[in-house]
Structure 1
Amino acid sequence: MRETEQEPANFTTSASPPLDLVFDLLSNRRRRYALYFLYEQSDGVATVTDVTDHVVALEGQRDECESAPDVEQRKQEVRTELRHVHLPKLEDSGILEHDQRSETVRYWTQPTLEEWLEHAYHKELA
């Protein structure tokens, strides 16, 4: 878990995050792509490398990566943004836990978020 002064929200399956938070979390494409991948994992656990690869692959399918044509350059850009922006935001929201030492992420199921995440997935990628 990240070492911060602020405590995460720690939502459980019985508590629902406010809709403003859900929509804020889903408002960023890379964060959505990461959540799509984590939601699909049977145990909710993945490495940052696996999440990065999934985000890069989805961006490649959607032709959203024209600014960085080199795959390794894109992976580095996405990995950096995930580590410094998106994973901390999701962790602070109580949606996941990011262990920086092992470079793993554990997603905590959240029915309200998942309802909107599934809807976004079907509108965006299906």
Structure 2
Amino acid sequence: MADKSFRVEVVSADERLYSGDATMLVAQTTDGEIGVLAGHAPLLGQLTEGGYIAITEADGSRRVAAVTGGFLSVSADVVTILAESAEWAHTVDVAAETAALDAAEPGSAAHHLAKSRLSAAAALAR
């Protein structure tokens, strides 16, 4: 592992979504968006409902995942995302999620899930 990289683990209730080395991670927390680089101070944060995470891997590629709820833990050399649910943005059907967001009751679990998926897809497109 290069000295400007760190380990990232993304785990949801259903599966381990990701395990690899990264040079940067961006996560949406209840306190706002946070960027993590190697050597970041230890931190525990609550992930926002309807948010996403973006991982810049050690090889320079970028991955974005929709996450709903859970926590972000930053330790000396590992960042762990413990999400209620997580899925890769490239699998999102934007039209279907837009319709789901429009049909969902604001603040409901379905609303947060659709918002998360759409936010992740938009972040991936950047």
Q: Normalization by structure 2: what TM-score?
A: 0.28
| Greater fraction of residues in strand | 2
Larger relative contact order (CA 8 Å, sep ≥ 6)? 1
TM-score by length of 1: 0.28
